[in-house]
Structure 1
Amino acid sequence: MCANCAYTASVSAAAGATGLRVWLQTRTWSWLTPRRLRRITIVSVIAAFAGATVTF
């Protein structure tokens, strides 16, 4: 994979994970505490980057 493709994939993965976090933050679910939101964010970023590197 070229450097440009790797950069584009990582930026897209980060944007997707950030979008998920924003969407979750706008919900008023009682089980979604700040600590759980942080953990969900970390897992989603790791999954997004892993998915981006595997698919490209």
Structure 2
Amino acid sequence: MCAGCAMTAMAGASGVRSWLQTRGWSFLTPERLRRITVAVFAVATVVSTVGLSGST
């Protein structure tokens, strides 16, 4: 995985987390938001590592 792919994935994950936080949904408690954040970062890491290939 290249550093650019990793940085892009983490920036996207941060954007998703910020978007969720600003929605104001009552079911998003701080604990749930924390768990969602961990899950989004994990998925972004896996996709940028496995799903993207820098060279073909």
State the percentage of identical aligned residues: 50
Long gaps (5+) in structure 2: none
What CA distance in whole angstroms lies between the structure 2 residues aligned with 1:39 and 1:23? 15
Query: Which residues of 2 match residues 29-48 of structure 1 at below 5 A?
Result: 29-48=25-44
TM-score, normalisation: structure 2: 0.86
What amino acid maps onto 2:7 in structure 1?
A: V
Provide the TM-score with structure 1 as the length reference: 0.86
Q: Gaps spanning 5+ residues in structure 1: where?
A: none
* Displacement over 3 Å in runs of 4+: none
The alignment yields a C-alpha RMSD, in angstroms, of 1.0
CA distance in 2: counterparts of 1:7 and 1:25, whole angstroms: 27
CA distance in 2, matches of 1:42, 1:33: 14
Superimposed CA distance per residue, residues 14-37 of structure 1 (whole angstroms, 9 cap, x where no aligned partner): 001000010001011110000000
